[in-house]
Structure formats: structure tokens, C-alpha cells
Structure 1
């Protein structure tokens, strides 16, 4: 595939031509992508197919592909007890003009629409069985074992990353040591879950992470709706009450309050208040 951009320039698939890429995907997977269903994002394009499946195509630069490889959706197919679309196949190739790789994964269709955007501005209508399914999937995920390491926002999560992120915004007096690492989705937000039937998708970055990363991420994406944020904390209270869960809450707050904070972000004040509370709890524990 050849894009009309110079080597090293950031590529935005919302505006860059991708016809040749999609033609290659269709030939390789033996499907026809339905144009009127296409969803274009900055580094991915997705569409329904003529055999009632979904294909997601992603471009990733080489230095964002970790040593463990770039097969999160494929490897997540082995997870037991987690509600997710069934993975069916893929095609992967290297870009001939840019230091990047292309990957297309085919999965079954989602059982419902995404709950909303990554950050919600109003509360969704979610029945108790939905929350029960969320808890069952996250608990089942955390109970399994993997050699993968989570890459939230395509950055490998490490103890140093956690420490640097928190201390770059808050006090150096906080002990940020992570005690327990468990498998996590690593991109848990309202855009990656469906309703009214619960299903969790977009598994590109899953792997071992500090306990509570997923719960803290979902809470952070809910902060503009206080009742929803409270519901997340209630449902995932075992995570939030753990020491690692408190560290991950502070990690999530650091992302909101850090140098790229938007002054009109409605999550700023609740994140700041929670950070102060969690710091006190960590300092006295």
C-alpha cells in the first residue's frame, strides 16, 4: 500500500486514502466490505462484511509494536469466561513506503451498539444484568494467566511508567509500588463495550497490568457523570479498595490532571478531589 505522505509523518486514516489497503484486505480475507457501514478513526478503519462479520484494519508504526508482537485480538480469543466477539481470522503485512505495519482482524458482529463515547457526558441506561456481565468478564480476565504485557495507548505499562506518571503530577511522597499484576483489557471505556447485551471488544492492547487498571480507567471515563462514576466504584469496589487499585486510581487521575489537561474538562475537579483522598489513604496505609 502506498500513501501520499513522507516517511515518518503521522498518518490519520480519517483523511488519508485507504482504498488500496481495503482492496488488499478484501482479497486476502475473501470478503466484501460494505461502504455504508465504514467507521474511520485516526489509526483504524472498520466495516461490516457481506458475510455478516466485522473487519477492523489498523496501521501501527514499528516502534509502537512491542516485542510480544501485535496480535492482541487474536490472542484474546483464548480467554475463557470473557464476553467478546469471536475472532475469525486476520491478515498482516508491512507497509512498503513507511516504517509501519498493517493488520486486519475479522470477528463476528457485536451483539449491540457501543455504550457511548470513550468519555460519557450523560448516564447510559444499563440494567443490573449488564453490570453482572461486566463484573463476570473482568473477574474472569483477571483470574487468567498470560505472558503479554498491557500497552495502554500503545505504551507498555511498567512500574517506571506508573511511578513517573503519578509523580509527574502529584507528591513524591506517595509509594507507587505495584504489588499485583493481572491480565487487563487496558483500554476499558464506554466506546469499547456494547449494550444492552454486554460484550467487550478492541483487544489490541490487553495484557498484564496492575490490578485495578481497567476499573480505574472506566471510572475515569465516567467522571463527568457523578452517579455513573459512583456506580463503577461500587461495582468494582474490590479493585478500588485494594492498594494497587488506589495506585491505579491515582494513575488515572494523573492522566486527567497532567500537562495536557483541558481547562474545561468536567472531570478535573472530581479527579482532583479523588486524588487528594487516595494520596492520604496511600500515605497512611
Structure 2
């Protein structure tokens, strides 16, 4: 990945500014600041086996730049460059640089962030705008929901209402104090209120922030349609708790929330 990043800098005429570039999950991505013809920018290099270098995750950032409303606050994607080497496919994505800092290094929030009320207002407006965007992309598949929710939560699914979602809406993909939404790989259709439900459940370690999330998104989380979204996020957490540390941390609070909120049918 370091060699791939150096190759991308040479090919795109960039100067690498990152002394300690940021690794993504399982070393799949490597990101950091660079200088470019646009000034200071952000270079993200993605790796994948060639037979998997296509589809939803691979093309998510590119299609988000092309199709989503510009009012949704996110770094603009300036350039994409693909190549293959030594049995791997690589994609270099050159983004607008942002001064926003991620709210949490872990997807699960451990400390209440000090965010201005305007940040919360803009967050609600961004998700409302995103929910109305038209797409054929799928963030969460119905087949998965109808299998995983009963298996891991003991609840029936029922009717599903759909909206467009970010799909990975947690605290390490949000920046502040000026709102910035990062990592658009997995966006697409999901149950109504999916992003709000994910942010709420990933805040359970911090009751004050969880309550703020609940208040900000009461217009969607307070509707019957949000039930499927909450149960789906709970199922995702519980399914992966034995292999992913931050899910393991969240499993206990999620089980408590399930017991307090939903009647199990099995």
C-alpha cells in the first residue's frame, strides 16, 4: 500500500505531505494529505483483488460525487485513477482537503463531543436531503434483513419502508466542528431512518449524546418505519460481536436496548 501510494503521487503529480498516513479497516485503504494543482488535497488509495474491484463499495465514492446533492457536506472528489500491480487492483481518489477532525477514532462513541447546535441542525438537513435522493444502489439488502433480524434479535421484520442512506453512518465518518460526512463507499437504499438509528445505537455508551441524537432525529426515529432500521442495526452489531472489537463493546448496550424497547417473538 505504501508503494501504491507513492506510485499514485508520482502518476498524479502530487507531493506527499503525510508523515503518518491513515490506515483504513484491515489495511484496505491508506489516506493522507498531499499537495496538488488544486492546493492541499487528500489522497485515498484503495486496494482490492482484481475480481472484486467493481460494484457498490468500489464505485461508491465516485457515484456519490456524481449523483448526490452538492448541499450534503462532504469533501469533493476531484480525480480517480485506477491501475493494477502484483495481483492487486488499486484506485487513487483525490479529494478536496478539509480541516474538519473526525469526531471519534472508533465508530462507537466513548466521550460526549462538544459540537455546536448548528452542527446538529446541519446533520439533520443533510440526512433529510440524502433520504430523498434517487438511486438504484443498495446499502442494506432485504434478504439480509429478513434473515438476520429474526436470527439475532428474535423479532419479526414486517413491512419495510425504504429511503436513501449513507449506510455506514457512525462517529468516525463524521467531522466537526464544521459538519463533514466521510466515506461514501456503501451508500444506497436502506430502511427508513437507518443512518439515524445507527448513529443512535453507536452512541449508547454516552447517554447525553444518544439523547441528543434521538431528539435531532425524532421526526424519523419516532415513526413506526424506524423499527426495521433499529432492528437491522442491532442485528449487524450482534452478528459481528464475536469478531469485531467495537461491536463487542456495543453488544451489551444493544441487548439492553432491545429488551427495553422491543417484544421478542422467538
Q: 1:83 aligns with which of 68, 73, 78?
A: 73
CA RMSD of superposed structures (Å): 2.4
Alignment partner, residue 185 of structure 1: 166
Alignment partner, residue 22 of structure 2: 39
- 1:37–1:48: 8 Å Cα contact kept in structure 2? no
Q: Relative to 1, partners in 2 of residues 1:67 and 1:52: Cα closer, same or farther, differing over 3 Å?
A: closer
1:120 paired to 2:109? yes
Q: 2:91 aligns with which of 97, 103, 124?
A: 103
1:48 paired to 2:29? no
The structural deviation recorded for 1:95 is 4.2
The structural deviation recorded for 1:139 is 0.6
Q: Relative to 1, partners in 2 of residues 1:225 and 1:94: Cα closer, same or farther, differing over 3 Å?
A: same
- Scaled by the length of structure 1, the TM-score of the pair is 0.81
Higher strand share: 2
The structural deviation recorded for 1:266 is 5.2
Instruction: Output one character per residue of 1:107-166: Cα deviation in whole Å (capped at 9) or x when no partner.
Output: 11123111112111110001110100101111111111112222xxxxxx2111012221
- 2:119–2:179: 8 Å Cα contact kept in structure 1? yes
Q: 1:143 aligns with which of 132, 138, 157?
A: 132
The structural deviation recorded for 1:267 is 3.4
CA–CA distance in structure 2, aligned partners of residues 218 and 210 of structure 1: 14
CA–CA distance in structure 2, aligned partners of residues 264 and 234 of structure 1: 24
Alignment partner, residue 157 of structure 2: 175
CA–CA distance in structure 1, aligned partners of residues 63 and 248 of structure 2: 35
Q: Tell me the matched-pair count.
A: 255
Higher helix share: 2
Runs of 4+ in 1 over 6 A off after TM superposition: none
- 2:192–2:226: 8 Å Cα contact kept in structure 1? yes
